[in-house]
Amino acid sequence: MGGITLLIAFLSMLIVALNVGGQSSPWDSPLVIGMFVGSGVSFVLFVIVEDRWAKNPIAPMQLFKRWKWRNVPLMTVTRTMLFFHCFANVR
């Protein structure tokens, strides 16, 4: 339960910071910087909770640790870049 809460917090703060930054607030405003910091802290806590205490993890960390399964992290990075590319081309 803690993993999904931290994942939602991470993604929500990241998306809000990216949407607000440069539009209604400058990139160096305390609001945007605080959202990015909160997003980073939530992500780190998410990884720790998923790796150590989750009985049924959302993202099993073993998928990202073994070189044998290197396609998982590579595809995660690729899909993230494609998402941001599509997100940037909306305007």
pLDDT score, position 91: 56
Q: How many domains does the chain have?
A: 2
89: pLDDT strictly greater than 70: no
Residue with token string 């994942």:
7
SS3 sequence of the chain = CHHHHHHHHHHHHHHHHHHHECCCECCCCHHHHHHHHHHHHHHHHHHHHHHHCCCCCCCCCHHHHCHHHCHHHHHHHHHHHHHHHHHHCCC
Q: Spell out the residues 6+ positions from residue 27 whose beta carbon is closer than 8 angstroms to its own.
A: 21
* Higher-pLDDT residue of 54, 10: 10
Nearest partner of 83 among 13, 18, 7, 4, judged by Cα: 18
Which structural domain range is residue 27 located in?
A: 1-58
pLDDT band at 90 (very low <50, low <70, confident <90, very high): low
Q: Indicate whether 1 and 44 sit together in one domain.
A: yes
pLDDT score, position 65: 73
Q: Indicate whether 83 and 39 sit together in one domain.
A: no
Q: Indicate whether 65 and 50 sit together in one domain.
A: no
Q: What is the pLDDT of residues 56-71, one digit of tens each?
A: 888 777 777 777 767 8
